[in-house]
Amino acid sequence: MRKSRWFGLALGAWAMLEMTTAAWTQAKIIGVEGTSFDLVARQDRITLGDGDSMLMWGFALGEGRMQYPGPTLILRQGDTVTVTLRNSLPREAGNVSIVFPGHEVTASGGVEGVLTREAPPDNTTVVTYTFTATRPGTYVYHSGTRPDLQVEMGLVGVIVVRPANPTPTPDCPPVPQGHNEAPPRSLCAGTKFAYDHPDTAYDREFLILMTDMDPRVHRLVEFGRIKEIDTTNFFQTVWFANGRNFPDTIANAQVPWLPTQPYNALFLMHPGERLLVRMATLGRDPHPLHFHGNHVRVIAKDGVLLSSGLGAGPDLSYERYTVVVNPCETVDAIYTWTGALMGWDIYGHAPGDPLAPYEFIGDHGANFPVILPSRDDVKFGQLYSGSPFLGGEGFLPPEHAGLNVGGGFFYMWHSHTEKELTNNNVFPGGLITFLGVVPWNVPLESE
């Protein structure tokens, strides 16, 4: 029991209200597409989930503000990409560079560093990195200069490379055996592909970059005591999903009160849809990401399809309910959910009622198996609709925020190193976000 928990949950409630009034949008990957990116390393501040303000070094797009994480670069397979870097950090930060693990990079300009060419903190010198995005997948980029300090300080980002083939189609997801048919095609988000194989199809995609922080380091930098930093004894106490701590993770993207943390990490889907979950970790610690609701099928690591050979597709893929993502590693997985084999009709249907899209036929009309206790006996979660049924609604007691307007099923996706569910000693926080499975009559933004 922590007194400050309610502070956090109040924030979350506010965030969810924002989300619901925005009609369930902003659950997608936000980034910059193109072949030429102008990045500038800048110093700025971010807001932690406990309300603290922390000094950061990060990447900015052109003349924009620094952001944490850096801009997500969305590339197309086969494109030759140019990234320029300028260093506007304070002099004590020293040189900055970018490395792109998984890509063959040519660097020019600036000064020679240990790993690559670097930009000195003169706000003038430009370093140019060029590479061809030969393979689709999820990648990271980060500072290659004193990464033991500069990755901690926030010089990190993600690269998504989309495959040249196959071509996306407007199709609905396929109907699994034993399930009801798909809705009209106009309601579906359309089928896309993660890799160059039809078995990597998905309908929606989401990104979760997991990072961590030792606030002592940032304070020493802020107070001009950078020479006292010992990068061998970091002890992380703050954890991030896409640069935010819970509950900010489930607020909208690009909200004005988090100007340097533009990305959220809220996941939303309809039953039967396939989610491509792009996971990445940068920083000190590995993170076991646990998926409530169902297993994920891991199809790729570090941008490499888990395949026994050319054209075989992800035949070496495997299912997990927890995926450990190590620092500087990326994992791509497909998640889906229909509620099959639950033993009761999750829609609360009577036997003669029409079936919902992708409803598991075997449970249609099956009774809810228990009598729920009286409202006095339980505490309702803020994301409980008042009904156990998908799309349902029920009485909510006074003081309940009523955030689940669509009657969705909300599943926590979180680090199962549970100490990481805190914001510098405050629970809840850290590496928590949510997947909302909402019924098909709640529209989600197409991608």
The contact set with another protein (CB under 8 A) reads 1-2, 5, 235, 237, 286, 288, 290, 292-295, 308, 315-322, 324, 337-344, 346, 369-373, 376-384, 388, 404, 409-412, 415-419, 421-422, 424-428, 434
CB of 72 to another protein, least distance (A): 26
CB of 150 to another protein, least distance (A): 23
Count CB-CB contacts under 10 A for residue 53.
Answer: 11
- Measured from the CB atom, the residue of 40 and 340 that comes closer to another protein is 340
- Measured from the CB atom, the residue of 59 and 389 that comes closer to another protein is 389
Longest CA pairwise span in the chain (Å): 73
In terms of DSSP H, where are the helices of 58-214? 147-153
CB of 423 to another protein, least distance (A): 9
Residue type, 57: W
Give the tokens for residue 305: 């399809």
CB of 320 to another protein, least distance (A): 5
- Measured from the CB atom, the residue of 240 and 409 that comes closer to another protein is 409
- Measured from the CB atom, the residue of 72 and 249 that comes closer to another protein is 249
Q: What is the DSSP string of 151-172?
A: HHHT-EEEEEEE-S-SPPB-PP
Contact 424, 216 (CB under 8 A): no
- Measured from the CB atom, the residue of 183 and 394 that comes closer to another protein is 394
- Please tell me the distance from the alpha carbon of residue 387 to that of residue 395, in angstroms, as a whole number: 8
- Measured from the CB atom, the residue of 101 and 286 that comes closer to another protein is 286
H/E run at residue 435: strand 432-437
Please list, in sequence order, all residues whose beta carbon lies within 8 angstroms of the beta carbon of residue 219, skipping any fewer than 6 positions away: 55
Residue 389: name the closest of 352, 433, 438, 340 by CA. Answer: 438
- Measured from the CB atom, the residue of 316 and 355 that comes closer to another protein is 316
- Measured from the CB atom, the residue of 78 and 381 that comes closer to another protein is 381
Strand partners, 107: 129
Give the tokens for residue 292: 């409530």
- Measured from the CB atom, the residue of 341 and 350 that comes closer to another protein is 341
CB of 260 to another protein, least distance (A): 23
- Measured from the CB atom, the residue of 223 and 368 that comes closer to another protein is 368
CB of 379 to another protein, least distance (A): 5
Phi, psi (deg, nearest 5) at residue 201: -70, 150
Quick one: how far is CA 88 from the chain centroid?
28
- In angstroms, the Cα distances linking 179 to 173, 295, 304, 341, 343 are 12, 18, 32, 11, 14
Give the tokens for residue 36: 């030429």
Torsion angle of C-alpha atoms 179, 180, 184, 188, degrees rounded to 10? -30
Quick one: how far is CA 367 from the chain centroid?
36
- Measured from the CB atom, the residue of 143 and 281 that comes closer to another protein is 281
- Measured from the CB atom, the residue of 2 and 225 that comes closer to another protein is 2
Classify 25 as helix, strand or coil.
coil
Quick one: how far is CA 61 from the chain centroid?
20
CB of 184 to another protein, least distance (A): 25
CB of 265 to another protein, least distance (A): 15
Please list, in sequence order, all residues whose beta carbon lies within 8 angstroms of the beta carbon of residue 192, skipping any fewer than 6 positions away: 168, 201, 202, 203, 205, 276, 447
Contact 436, 430 (CB under 8 A): no
Classify 49 as helix, strand or coil.
coil
Classify 441 as helix, strand or coil.
coil
- Please tell me the distance from the alpha carbon of residue 30 to that of residue 140, in angstroms, as a whole number: 15
Residue type, 284: R
